[in-house]
C-alpha cells in the first residue's frame, strides 16, 4: 500500500521469543498488516530457542538492532529457574538503560473483574533499588543486599514520568514509597519527586506509603491516576494493578530509555499452552499499541485499541478470559472490527514525550567531611570487645540486625554473628587517620567484614541512625 509522504514506514525490531511468543507476535503482525500500520519489522532473536539455535540467549546483533531502530516489540522469553542464563529482560533493560517501565492498567469491556473504570498508569523505575543485585555474604549466617537510589537516576525517571502524565492529559501523579522507614533512599526519591513536580503545576502531585496504597488499590482503584514507584515496589504494584483489570493475559508494558524503548507483555512464555493456538494476544497487542504512541502513530494506536475493545465487548474472548476463541479467531475478529482508515484525520494526542537528555552526576554543593565509620564485625561469641577510643574516633554505638545493643541494656532479641560498630569523631578526619584506626583494630584481631565511611555536610549527618539510637 502507498503511504502519503508524511507517513514514512518506521523500522522496528521484532523479537518473537519462546513458548507462545511466536503465536502472539504473529497475531500482532497480522493485525498491524491489516491496519496498514506504517511499520517495517526487522526480526532478531533472543531466548531459549535462540540459545539452542545460535549458542547464546541474547546475540549482540539483537542489542545493536534495538539501538539502531530505537524501538523493539518483544515476545516473552523463557528464563531457566535455579541456574542457566540470566533473565534476558533484565539484561536488555540494563544494557540499553531502559530506566522507566510503563504499565497502563485500564478496564477492558467484556473482561470480568471486581472493578470497572480502572484507568491507571504504573511507572516503575527500572534500573536501581535492589535490582543492582549487589549482595554479599557477610558471615556464614548473614547476607546483605545494597539498595541503591541515586539522584540522577531518580531525576531521569521522574522527569519522564511527569512528561508522560502531562502528554496524556492526566490530572494526578502519586509518588509511592516507604520513606517513613527508608528515610534516606525513599526519602531522596520522594524529595526529587516534589522538586520536579514544581515544574508541572497543572498536575496534582501527592505521595502515599506503599502499604496504604496497596490497601486503597484493592478497595477503590479508580481513585488513582498515575503512580510512580522505585523498582521493587513498582514490580509488585504493577502486577497488582494488572490483576485489577483482568490479569496477565491483558497486561501490557513498555521499557523506556533515552530515545529507545522495548515493548512487551507482562506475562511469560506460558509453556503450558504453547503451540496449542489458544494464547491470548491482547497483552502484546496493547504493548504494541503503547509502542505506536511512542512512535507518535497515535491514530493507528487508537484505531487498533478500538477494534480490540469492540471485539471483547462483543463477547469474543480467548479461554483465559472465559471465552472459547482460538488465537486465530480472536485475531480475525479484531481485524474485522477495524474501522476504515482515514488519513485525513489529525492526531488527537500530542507526540509521545522524548526523555530528557541523560543527566550527569551532580557534585555536592558543600564539601563532605569524613567524620567516622560503621565497621561491620563478625563476632560469633557475642558483643565484640572493641577499644572505646581509636585516635580521634570514639565508639558510640553497636547494633545487631539494625537494633542498638550497646551502650545500655542489650534488648532480648535474636542476635546474629554480625555487628555494626559505629565510631565517630568530633572533628573532620583524614583518610589516613581512618586507615590507621582500621590497622589498629586488625592488629587487635578484630574480624571486620566491611567498612562504611560516615560523612557530614554542613553539619548534617549523611547516614541513618540505628533503631533505638537517640
Ligand atoms: P507465564 O506468564 O508464562 O504463565 C502463567 C500462567 O498464565 C500460565 O498458566 C499461562 O498459561 C497463563 N498465560 C500467560 N500468558 C498468557 C496468554 N497470553 N494467554 C493465555 N494464558 C496466558 O508465567 P510462568 O509460567 O511463571 O513463566 C514461564 C516462563 O516465562 C518462565 O521461563 C519465566 O521466566 C518467563 N517469563 C518471561 C517474561 C518475559 O519474557 N517478559 C515475563 C515473565 C516470565
Beta partners for residue 369, in sequence order: 456
Is 64 part of any domain?
Answer: yes
For ligand 1, is residue 270 a contact (CB within 6 Å)? yes
- Of 216, 244, 272, the one marking the end of a domain is 244
Write the CATH number for 289.
3.40.718.10
Q: Best of 267, 280, 308 to mutate for ligand 1, by most ligand atoms within 8 A of CB? A: 267
Same domain for 124 and 240, yes or no, is yes
- Of 190, 212, 244, the one marking the end of a domain is 244
Q: Ligand 1 centre and the CA of 442: distance in Å?
A: 51
Same domain for 350 and 373, yes or no, is no
Same domain for 423 and 313, yes or no, is no
For ligand 1, is residue 323 a contact (CB within 6 Å)? no
Residue partners of 379: CB distance under 8 A and separation at least 6? 417, 418, 419, 447
Give 344-352 contacts, CB < 8 A, sequence gap 24+.
345/299, 347/296, 347/298, 347/299, 348/298, 348/299, 348/302, 349/167, 349/168, 349/293, 349/298, 350/167, 351/167, 351/296, 351/298, 352/167, 352/293, 352/294, 352/295, 352/296
Same domain for 39 and 129, yes or no, is no
Is 10 part of any domain?
Answer: yes
Q: Which residue from 20, 85, 45 is spatially nearest to 281, judged by alpha carbons? A: 20
Same domain for 278 and 343, yes or no, is yes
Q: Best of 126, 269, 286 to mutate for ligand 1, by most ligand atoms within 8 A of CB? A: 269
Question: pLDDT under 50 in the chain at which residues?
Answer: 1-6, 346-351
Protein residue whose Cα sits closest to atom 8 of ligand 1: 270
- What pLDDT score does 257 carry? 94
Is 166 part of any domain?
Answer: yes
Residue range of the domain that includes 428: 368-461
For ligand 1, is residue 269 a contact (CB within 6 Å)? yes
Q: Best of 72, 251, 270, 273 to mutate for ligand 1, by most ligand atoms within 8 A of CB? A: 270
- Of 319, 354, 389, the one marking the end of a domain is 354
- What pLDDT score does 357 carry? 55
Q: Ligand 1 centre and the CA of 252: distance in Å?
A: 13
Is 361 part of any domain?
Answer: no
Q: Ligand 1 centre and the CA of 269: distance in Å?
A: 4
Protein residue whose Cα sits closest to atom 12 of ligand 1: 270
Same domain for 422 and 337, yes or no, is no
Q: Which residue from 234, 220, 253 is spatially nearest to 105, judged by alpha carbons? A: 253
Helix (H) or strand (E) holding 443: helix 431-443
How many structural domains are present in the chain?
3
Q: Ligand 1 centre and the CA of 34: distance in Å?
A: 27
Write the CATH number for 430.
3.30.70.1570
- What pLDDT score does 359 carry? 55
Task: Write out pLDDT tens, residues 238-260.
Answer: 999 999 999 988 999 999 998 89
Same domain for 185 and 131, yes or no, is yes
Protein residue whose Cα sits closest to atom 13 of ligand 1: 270
Is 467 part of any domain?
Answer: no
Is 104 part of any domain?
Answer: no
> In whole angstroms, how large is the CA radius of gyration of the chain?
26
Task: Write out pLDDT tens, residues 117-160.
Answer: 999 999 999 999 998 888 989 988 999 999 999 999 999 999 99
Same domain for 288 and 238, yes or no, is no
3-state class of 463 per DSSP?
A: coil
Same domain for 84 and 136, yes or no, is no
- The whole-model pTM stands at 0.88
Is 359 part of any domain?
Answer: no
Same domain for 171 and 235, yes or no, is yes
Is 194 part of any domain?
Answer: yes
Same domain for 67 and 170, yes or no, is no
Same domain for 190 and 301, yes or no, is no
- What pLDDT score does 346 carry? 46
Amino acid at each position: 500500500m502507498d503511504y502519503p509522504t508524511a507517513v514514512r514506514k518506521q523500522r522496528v525490531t521484532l523479537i518473537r521469543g519462546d513458548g507462545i511468543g511466536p503465536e502472539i507476535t504473529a497475531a500482532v503482525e497480522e493485525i498491524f498488516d491489516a491496519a496498514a500500520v506504517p511499520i517495517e519489522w526487522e526480526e532478531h532473536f533472543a531466548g531459549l530457542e535462540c540459545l539452542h539455535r545460535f549458542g547464546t540467549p541474547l546475540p549482540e546483533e539483537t542489542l545493536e538492532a534495538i539501538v539502531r531502530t530505537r524501538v523493539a516489540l518483544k515476545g516473552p522469553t523463557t528464563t531457566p529457574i535455579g541456574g542457566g542464563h540470566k533473565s534476558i529482560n533484565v539484561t536488555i533493560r540494563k544494557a540499553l538503560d531502559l530506566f522507566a517501565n510503563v504499565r497502563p492498567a485500564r478496564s477492558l469491556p467484556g473482561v470480568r473483574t471486581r472493578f470497572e473504570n480502572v484507568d491507571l498508569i504504573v511507572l516503575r523505575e527500572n534500573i536501581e533499588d535492589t535490582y543492582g543485585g549487589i549482595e554479599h555474604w557477610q558471615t556464614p549466617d548473614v547476607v546483605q543486599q545494597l539498595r541503591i537510589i541515586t539522584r540522577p537516576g531518580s531525576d531521569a525517571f521522574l522527569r519522564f514520568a511527569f512528561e508522560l502524565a502531562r502528554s496524556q492529559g492526566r490530572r494526578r501523579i502519586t509518588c509511592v514509597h516507604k520513606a517513613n522507614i527508608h528515610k534516606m533512599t525513599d526519602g531522596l526519591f520522594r524529595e526529587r519527586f516534589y522538586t520536579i513536580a514544581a515544574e508541572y503545576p497543572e498536575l496534582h502531585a501527592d505521595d502515599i506509603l506503599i502499604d496504604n496504597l496497596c490497601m486503597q488499590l484493592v478497595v477503590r482503584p479508580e481513585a488513582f491516576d498515575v503512580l510512580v514507584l522505585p523498582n521493587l515496589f513498582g514490580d509488585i504494584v504493577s502486577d497488582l494493578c494488572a490483576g485489577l483489570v483482568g490479569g496477565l493475559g491483558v497486561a501490557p508494558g513498555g521499557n523506556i530509555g533515552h530515545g529507545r524503548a522495548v515493548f512487551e507483555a507482562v506475562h511469560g512464555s506460558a509453556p503450558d499452552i504453547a503451540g496449542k493456538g489458544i494464547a491470548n494476544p491482547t497483552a502484546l497487542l496493547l504493548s504494541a499499541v503503547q509502542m505506536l504512541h511512542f512512535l507518535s502513530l497515535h491514530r493507528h494506536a487508537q484505531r487498533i485499541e478500538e477494534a480490540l475493545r469492540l471485539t471483547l465487548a462483543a463477547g469474543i474472548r480467548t479461554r483465559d478470559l472465559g471465552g472459547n476463541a482460538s488465537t486465530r479467531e480472536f485475531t480475525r475478529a479484531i481485524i474485522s472490527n477495524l474501522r476504515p482508515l482515514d488519513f485525513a484525520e489529525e492526531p488527537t494526542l500530542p507526540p509521545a514525550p522524548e526523555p530528557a537528555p541523560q543527566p550527569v552526576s551532580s557534585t555536592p554543593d558543600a564539601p563532605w567531611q569524613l567524620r567516622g565509620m560503621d565497621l561491620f564485625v563478625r563476632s560469633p561469641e557475642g558483643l565484640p570487645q572493641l577499644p572505646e577510643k581509636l585516635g580521634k574516633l570514639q565508639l558510640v554505638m553497636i547494633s545487631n540486625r539494625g537494633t542498638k545493643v550497646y551502650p545500655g541494656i542489650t534488648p532480648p532479641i535474636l542476635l546474629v554473628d554480625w555487628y555494626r560498630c559505629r565510631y565517630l569523631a568530633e572533628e573532620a578526619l583524614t583518610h589516613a587517620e581512618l586507615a590507621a584506626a582500621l590497622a589498629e583494630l586488625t592488629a587487635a584481631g578484630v574480624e571486620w567484614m566491611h567498612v562504611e565511611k560516615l560523612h557530614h555536610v554542613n553539619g548534617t549527618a549523611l547516614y541513618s541512625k540505628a533503631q533505638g539510637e537517640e
